[in-house]
Every structure is written in C-alpha cells, then in structure tokens.
Amino acid sequence: MQNQRQSYLKGAVIISLGGFISKILGAIYRIPLTNLLGGGGMGIYQMVYPLYCILLTVSASGIPTGIARLISSGKTGAESRAFRLYGAVGIFGTVLMFALSTPLAVLQGEPAVALCCKMLCPSVFFVSALSVVRGYFQGRGNMYPTAVTEVAEQVVKVCVGVALAYVFKGNPAYAVASTLFAVTVSEAVAALGAIWYYLKRRPRRPLFKAEEPPASSILKYTIPLTLTAIALPLSQLAESVVVVRLLRNITSDATALYGIYSGCAMTIINLPVSVTYGLAASSVPQISPLAEKGDLAAAKRKTYKALWITLAVSVPAAAALYIFAPLAARLIFGSLSEVERSLLVNLVRTMAVSSVTQSLVQTSSACLTSLGKPVLSTVTQWVTSALRVGLAAVLIRFTSLGIIGAGWAANGAFFVATMLNLCYIIGIGDKNENNADRIGNIRGRLNPSGEGGA
C-alpha cells in the first residue's frame, strides 16, 4: 500500500513538473513572439484563442481523467471506444471552427481572425486523440507520456512558431496565422508520437478491437468536467468581444490594448499560478481518501494546509511581480513602445493580487473535487466568469480606466471566486460535523447506557 502511494505521488510530481516546464516555455515563447508581432499582432493572436479553447474544452477536456478512471477500474477497452467517440467530436470541432472563422472575424471586427482560425482548427482533432492516449496511460499509472507530450508540444510550437513569424514578419496577418499554424503542427507531432507509443506498448491489442464499455460510461465522467472547464474560455471569448468593441469607442488601438492585457500582462500574472498547480496536485491525493472514508475533519485540515502552502508561495510571487514589473516589461517585452510598456507595468501591478487569488481558486477547486463536491467549483466558475465580463464592461464603459478596467474586473472576479470556494469548503465541514453531532445526540438519547447497537 505504501509503495502504491509513493508511486501515485511520484506520478503527480511528474505531471506537475511537465506542466510547469510547459508553462515556462510558453511564457518564454511570448518574448520573441511579442517582438515579432507587436501589440496589434498579439491582440489578433489572443482574439482567436477563446473560440479555440471552447472547442478544445468540449472535445478534449475531462478525457484524461475520465479514461484514467475507467482504465484503472479494469475497463481496458475504454480507450478504443474513446478514440472513436472523441475522434468524431474532434473532427466536428475542427469543421465547426473552420465554419465559424469568418463570422467570428466579422463579430470581432478583425478580418485577420478568419485566416488565423483556419490555420488553428486542425489542432482540435489532434488534441482530442492526444487526450485519449494520455488518459489511457494515466489509468495504467504511467504519467510520463502526459509530461513528455506537454513539453514536446511547447518545444515544437516555440521552434516552428518563431521561425514562421520571422519569415512573415513583414505581414502581420500572415505572421500571426503562421504562429497559430505552428500550434497545429505541435499538436499533430505530440498526438502522433503518443499514438505511436501506445501502439508500441500494446502491440498485441488492435487499437479499435478491444472489448469496449458503453459510451455512456465515458460521458458520465467527462461531461461534468467539461462543464466546469468550459466556463473560462467562454468568458474569455465574451471578454474579447465586449472589451475590444467598447475600447474602439474611445481609441483606435483597441486590438493592441487587448493584446497587451491578455497576451502580455496575463502571461506574467499566470506564472505563479503554474507553480502552485504542482502544490495543489501533490496535496489532493491526501484529501480524497480521507473524504471517502468519511473523515471530513481530517480532510478539512489537509485542505487548509494546501491553501496555506498556496498562499505562502503566491503572496511573495505577487509582491515580486509588483516590484519588478518595470524590469520584466523592459527585458521581456522590449519591442513594445514606451507607452505600451508603461501600460503593461500598470496592468501587472494592478493585477498582481490576482496571481494570489487565482492560485487559491485553483487549489480550492481541486480540494472541492477531492471532497466530493465538484459541482460547487463548477458553480463558482460560471458565476465569477459572468461577473468578470460584466464588471469589465461596466468599468470600461462608465469610467476612464480603459483596459485597466478589465484588470480590475479580473481582480474582483477571482476574489469572489476565492471567497465562494472557501465558504463551500467551510460549509462542507461544518454541515457534516453538525450532522454527526446530531446523530451522536440522538444515539445517546436512544442508548444512554452507551452499549453498542446494531
């Protein structure tokens, strides 16, 4: 039993390390990308991603966890059914993104978005296939394929993306489209490599001939996780439309401003969040067994410990972001003009606190899932996503804050999300403890002698 626990924790560390390296590479990638594309190009880049993330969430989110649960429970044919099920979903997502490319460009008022969507849409299918393979190996207790493919994705994207952006740097629309095509190339390489590894590890089992569980058993796990994950990209899509359109009423640089906010400031702010992901992942396995056994008091203590560790890491990181924002803007985004860098510094300092609240939301959401209440984190995601877009619209429309208003809206939304999750966690413990006390009092009245009953 001890060996199994060590193996599980080792797997959690491997995935966390792979995810952290991937995010660091992604952040570094923004340096040459911003230098080559500029604020306007980064704005177009960020305007395409929300739709992509929505389709990706529907076609791939929840697959690794759902397949892993089925595989670990002995349903070894689950990956074959999932390949067909989510392969079809991935193809549909690719076709849908292609079809929506022109309407989205018209809606956002940016013609270059159409070409960018078309260059990016094939990756929806490749990510679906890749997610099935990752889930299969996670269910088998092998976390290396997930970590390796995450890093491989970023390495290929960085190399191909920078090369193509340099080739087309004289044409902003083509430069952005080529960097998004690099994403498609990276996902294709990772997916094909993962499938090759799967076939190599399972040479005697044809890919689609294994005994398969019904599709409903897969959807039972993946649909709830998808509903949780889709809230953020939907809010980002709505934000990209609302914020850019409102900014166009007060400035001609609306796309560039949104690019600095979403592509530059948010990239910096999210770095501490990627660090605390590993802390959350390593603490969750300690909470779930306690909750399953009904020892909610102990599970609650572990939850608070995870939150305190997250706070201890994220607060100094947020302070560093605030203090060194000018240096980071000058070193990382040196191609921006003085006015744009000044805006970036202001955004990072305004939003530094959200690196703390985002980290706490990430950890508390994972803890709610471990406590058996994933629906509560889903409610939080949807409520605060709507709040974020609404606040951004109000602050930009009725104040002189401009794009800084979007930063304050994000701060408010993540703070509310943190408070909601903390209230849920406290309520879960108190409710069950009160119920236990009531049951104990009833048993005491029914059996005052203290002798055991049935």
What is the structure's pLDDT at 288?
A: 66
Task: For residues 352-374, give the mean pLDDT.
Answer: 85
- Domain range for 195 is 1-227
CA distance linking residue 432 with residue 185, whole number of Å: 50
The tokens for 206 are 């044809």
pTM here? 0.67
Contact indicator for 18, 146 with CB cutoff of 8 Å = yes
Q: Do both 139 and 285 map to the same domain?
A: no
How many DSSP H helices and E strands does the chain contain? Answer: 16, 0
Does pLDDT of 366 surpass 60?
A: yes
pLDDT at 62 exceeding the cut of 70: no
Residues 240 and 175 in one domain: no
Alpha carbon distances (Å) from 53 to 28, 72, 106, 169, 236 = 21, 28, 19, 26, 9
Question: pLDDT exceeding 90 applies to what percent of the chain?
Answer: 28
- Contacts of residue 406, defined as CB under 8 A and 6 or more positions apart, other chains included, come to 239, 243, 261, 392, 395, 396
Quick one: 331 and 194 in the same domain?
no
- pLDDT(26) > 50: yes
Mean pLDDT of 150-167: 92
For residue range 338-350, what is the model confidence (pLDDT) as tens digits?
Answer: 888 899 999 999 9
The residue out of 193, 227, 261 marking a domain boundary is: 227
For residue 443, the model assigns a pLDDT of 47
CA distances from 300 to 12, 368, 436 (A): 21, 10, 15
Between residues 66 and 148, the one the model is more confident about: 148
Using pLDDT thresholds of 50, 70 and 90, give the confidence band for residue 20. Answer: confident
- Residue 81: the pLDDT is 75
Tell how far CA 34 is from the center of its chain: 22
Instruction: Determine the average pLDDT of the residues in 145-158.
Output: 89
Same domain, yes or no: 64 and 196: yes
pLDDT confidence tier of residue 391, bands split at 50, 70 and 90? very high
- Same domain, yes or no, for 17 and 92? yes
Answer yes or no: do 379 and 306 share one domain. yes
The confidence score (pLDDT) of residue 450 equals 44
CB 50 within 8 A of CB 116: no
Q: For the residues 376-402, what does the mean pLDDT come to?
A: 91
For the chain, the distance separating the N- and C-terminal CA atoms, rounded to the nearest angstrom, is 31
Is 168 in the same domain as 245? no
If asked whether residues 205 and 242 sit together in one domain, one would say no
**pLDDT(145) > 90:** no
Domain boundary (227, 257, 272) is at 227
Are 236 and 223 part of one and the same domain? no
Q: Please state, rounded to an integer, the average pLDDT across all residues of the chain.
A: 80
Q: Does the structure show a pLDDT above 60 at 259? A: yes
283's tokens: 């603490």
Q: Judge if 171 and 251 occupy the same domain.
A: no
Q: Over 80: is that where the pLDDT of 106 sits?
A: yes
Q: Are residues 209 and 329 in the same domain?
A: no
What is the CA angle 26-27-30, rounded to 5?
90
Question: Into how many domains does the chain fold?
Answer: 2
Confidence of residue 70 (pLDDT cuts 50, 70, 90): low
- Most confident range, picked from 302-311, 317-326, 371-380: 317-326
Q: Domain boundary at 167, 192, 227, which?
A: 227
Q: Which two tokens stand for residue 120?
A: 């990016």
**Pair 167, 248 in one domain:** no
Residue-wise pLDDT for 188-218, tens only, equals 999 999 999 888 876 455 544 555 656 666 6
Dump pLDDT digits (tens) for 282-313.
555 567 667 767 888 888 888 888 899 889 88
